[in-house]
Chains A and B, each alone.
Chain A
Amino acid sequence: MAFAGDWLKPPRHMNGTSFFYFATDQYRYEAKVNEEQLKWGGRFSQMHPADFNAMAARLGWLPSYPQFTQNSLKLVKEAREKGLKEADEVAQYMAQLIKEEKVDWAIEHPDDPRNFPKVFFNWRSNLLGDTGKGHEYFAKHLMGGEDTVLAESGSSWQPETIDIAEKPPEGKVDLFVSLDFRMTSTGLFSDIVLPAATWYEKYDISSTDMHPFIHPFNAAITPPWEAKSDWDAFREISRVFSELAKDHLPACEDLVMSPLSHDTVDEIAQPFGKVFDWRKDGVEPIPGKTMPKFQIVKRDYPNVFHQFTTIGPDIQKGYGSKGVVIPGEDVYKELLNRLGVCGREGLGKGRPDLYSAKHAIEAILDMSGATNGKRAVAGWKSLEKKTGQKLAEIAQGHEEDAYTLLDITAQPRQAISTPVWSGMEKDGRRYSPFTVNTEYMIPWRTLTGRQSFYLDHEVMLDFGEGLPLYLPPLNHGPFLLGEDKVENSGKWLTVRYLTPHQKWGIHTMFTETTNMTTLFRGWQTVWINEEDAASIGIKDNDWIEVYNRNGAVAARAVVTYRIPRGVVYMYHAQDRTMGVPANAINKNRGGTHNSVTRITPKQTHMIGGYSQLSYGFNYYGPTGNQRDTIAIIRRLKEVDWLED
């Protein structure tokens, strides 16, 4: 339901790390890692991360979006015009086009305006105040706002396979829309901020593996003024979109490229962990084998609204995730009963109604094994077939459980154990990973079926990481040679800059209320060892700034003996909406904790198509890596609020 799988498959997913690495042009500012640490160095470890990522996309390891510089709707249309009927044929045709280099990989042309993310919809994320690593690059290249990027692409390590424009583009996004009830600084960059209902104004459910409960959210008040719940906001957008689409974007076919994915046969697409690049290693580009899969999806734009507001027919074919399939016939019938039948004229008529958030909640509660015993049993049965073990008993005694929103409103209910998770919540136990694997002999989702310590993939070996090992932090200076043009007459110190999770708060939520900020010292602060501080004339609560080639942040110093010398901590997600003056370097607003960091992609995370090393949405893939970096700290001599 989340990705409209009941109407069409597959969804078009992209991993955020790679997307932002290219979209914000951070790939232009790589520093070559110090040779010492590369002494295993071979074929892959010497590759520029952007080249590696492009290869990963090309070999079907990672998703890649935008897909091609050419329009994917047009590509299908052309194929059809050539008389290709079957999906397979179209995929073959695509592989041919790619091989002959008649289409361009967008990932290799990130600075072609056709590949810019021109419309950006930011839903409940503080992309530009917290989550986006390398904030100043976001500001510069994606948004075209004030920025304090001090690095120069000229002196940085440049990729080989990526087509680089002379002058890096700035402000790629034309329209930025935010829908986020947490009023963060991302809103300050947005062209449109949609009024969002908060937790106490809407209906919702949540659960996590940190505790065993399914929690409801109930509206204590109606959303004030024009605010809407996320569900309602997206539904209304889909309504208008569908109306406009009638004239401007009729139904058509789309080509969706997707990577070799986790928990499917794709896991054995590239056996033995050997890397064969069809571009140069002489192997054929075969979709779903040596390169991504190409599928055709029917886009029914004028009917998006109806698809949004009803449960689609495909649910009857069964659904599930992580390789577990729950049969859908009965579910569909139950849903018709539980949600009511849609009476709206159009595509959705006669289908289970999904108009409001409450409908969506009931649908989830009905379909998920965690809240419906029948589904849990079905899920375990599905896994029984795969593993040959007796598993259905795990959910035994829960067959009749079918929580409703009213049930969980009366009291949060304990989730039922499902095969989607590896913990056991049976008999009042608390979640702990892999308990079902050890207790019910379910193989681990690895090549060996056991816990794996040795990874024999060529890339892992090339990096010298076939076995777990300690790698010292990357050691490079705050600037590359010739980059540092910051006027610096006073005292300063080069330190390791860390951004651990803050003590109070869930991202930026609620730490910014008056009481919460009073709980400590208000915003923003950076912790520093007192001897370090004294050595550069910083006293407790003095204004300071931290900067390096990625940018600068202005804050106040918290001086202590509790942390060792040589490091400073800036607790993450303080955001710069409150109490942040200008930096001294270029008199811009002193940034966020992510102003001095950048995305550091790790190539070994990009491996795909090889057993557990296969991409899975929100499951397995590259992360931005930790924000451990080297920076300079010094006193901020004067405080300028930039108020004139």
Chain B
Amino acid sequence: MRIKTQVCMVMHLDKCIGCHTCSVTCKNTWTNRPGVEYVWFNNVETRPGPGYPKQWENTDRFKGGWVLKNGKLRLRAGGPVSKLANIFYNPNMATIQEDFYEPWTYDFEHLFTAPKKDRVPVARPKSLMTGKYIDKPTWSSNWDDDLAGGNEIAPTDPNVQKLQEHIKMEYEKTFMMYLPRICEHCLNPSCVASCPSGALYKRDEDGIVLVDQEACRGWRFCMNGCPYHKVYYNWNTHKAEKCHFCYPRTEAGLPTICSETCVGRIRYIGVVLYDADKVKAAASVEDPKKLYEAQLSVFLDPFDPEVIKEARKAGINDQWIEGAQNSPIYKMAMKWKIALPLHPEYRTLPMVWYVPPLNPIMNHIENEEELATDGYIPAVDQMRIPMEYLASLLTAGDTGIIRHVLLKLTAMRVHMRAKTVGGVDDYKHSQLLKEADTSVEELEEMARLLAVAKYNERFVIPTGRREMKDDLFYQQGACSIEDLAPPEGMIR
């Protein structure tokens, strides 16, 4: 057993209102500079839609993540030798123009300097890449917000293209959901494995995946090596940059900026314990539909005395163990199993989990008065978002798991509704409870965490660990002048 700790996030999609506050606060904090204008560490996609960058889920095109070849785990884009052979030109890499978008601004200055005229002056759009006027922008990080572009754009969603059943995109059948995305801080990150310089690494203390800006040489294999397309190339510094889970904040016990500012309060952060020795095997399971279960098998029960003993041996302190015990992630993803990994078939073991959205049903439930608990079971099967679609996002196509989660969420609503307003038949013996494989106690616990949990229940983040061999005495006075005063000191 090789116990490690990992900070994770759960996003409860039912509550996402698509406001993009997370994107904006993240952008303003981290990527508001030349070189990364096109970069959104956090972005929110309207689904169905191609996402950002366009069709990032198209693995044939970008070749991200891992594949199983003869039972062995291989980078889809090719291993080290083929990477070195391709080092002068990366055939799978995205470009700003075609796959991201040409960032633009407006000539605001003109509004102040325009001469007096009959017509109101206007700030024209201007490319941030060339500084030249453009007539109109043609794509952005969120061009297809709320199904903008309709049938010209939504069907380019790779998940839609994969669906067995042809779905019609029309007013009466409209379905829509938001998918906020950050880096998954995977347990088996393909970005790390793709980096020729070894600049990308996973932190021992919290599992956050970082790019060492000094070691990065700009080879760019991480960009498309990440199947979630969450590593970006800064064209100004010529180095890779990515979401770093706001580690300066989490180290202080604070949630990431995107979570802190999330209007829908959909985000939860906590730590989990896992066995690093099991990661490879879990990622190498043959059947993609089994990957979700395999992924769950690497986590350790933080209440198990054996695990606690081992964790202590591995240098994990009590606060982190306690954090793992109180972790909302542990509850939602491992205990209740209502939070699912995004595209487990990429085999990177992503660590941002999603509670799928409940959504309106296609037809009217008739006779709502008499609606018995079990009447909700068919309702789950009639929801507007095709279950297959959700399965394509979250379970490598296994609709059974999705259905189970939706049933559980429905059961929770039905129960809580019954509890406050009454009107549902004897719940304890209902089929819904059985099919959802849950209990009233569990549902109430879920309702608390999903609906009313306060800040300190949603974010259980132990402060950073500093028991390593740092020269803390030196560091406490040196942080901001490191460039001038190298840590080793001038004389030593």
Contact = CB atoms under 8 A, between A and B. Distances in A.
Q: Do chains A and B touch in the complex (CB under 8 A)?
A: yes
B151 interface: yes
A146 B119 contact: yes
A540 B140 contact: no
A580 B111 CA distance: 13
Given A518-B103, A589-B119, A562 B125 contact: no
Given A520-B145, A560-B147, A541 B136 contact: yes
Contacts of B142: 518-520
B334 to A, nearest CB: 33
A577 interface: yes
Interface in B158-189: 169-171, 174, 176
A193 to B, nearest CB: 10
B148 A560 contact: yes
Given A516-B24, A539-B152, A560-B147, A521 B137 contact: yes
B122 interface: yes
Contacts, number: 126
B121 A521 contact: no
Contacts of A183: 111
Main secondary structure of the interface of B (DSSP, over half): loop
A642 interface: yes
A378 B443 CA distance: 47
A231 to B, nearest CB: 25
A504 B32 CA distance: 19
A119 interface: no
B20 interface: yes
Interface string B114-157: 00001111111100100000011110111101111111110000
B27 interface: yes
A578 B150 contact: no
Given A578-B123, A579-B106, A146 B118 contact: yes
Contacts of B138: 541
B104 interface: yes
Contact of B24 (A515, A522, A530, A582): A515
Interface size class of B (residues with CB under 8 A): 35 or more
B171 A188 contact: no
Contacts of A514: 104-106, 128
Contacts of A146: 118-120
Residue with the highest number of chain B CB atoms closer than 10 Å, among A520, A576, A589: A520
Nearest to A542: B136
Nearest to B32: A515
A503 interface: yes
Interface string A518-544: 111110000101100000000111010
B150 A559 contact: yes
Given A188-B111, A562-B147, A519 B20 contact: yes
B135 A589 contact: no
A55 B106 CA distance: 48
- Give the most central of A527, A556, A576, A578: most B CB within 10 Å: A578
Given A188-B111, A515-B24, A519-B141, A560 B150 contact: yes
B28 interface: yes
A220 to B, nearest CB: 15
A543 B147 CA distance: 19
B150 A540 contact: yes
B1 interface: no
Contacts of A582: 119
B23 interface: yes
Contact of B148 (A512, A521, A564, A639): A521
Nearest to B20: A519
Interface of A: 145-146, 183, 185, 188-189, 503-504, 512, 514-522, 527, 529-530, 539-541, 543, 556, 558-565, 576-582, 588-589, 639, 641-642
Given A560-B146, A562-B171, A577-B111, 13 more contacts: A517-B105, A519-B20, A519-B24, A520-B148, A529-B171, A540-B152, A541-B136, A543-B136, A556-B136, A561-B147, A562-B147, A562-B174, A579-B106
Interface of B: 18-20, 23-24, 27-28, 32, 103-106, 111, 118-125, 128, 135-138, 140-143, 145-153, 169-171, 174, 176
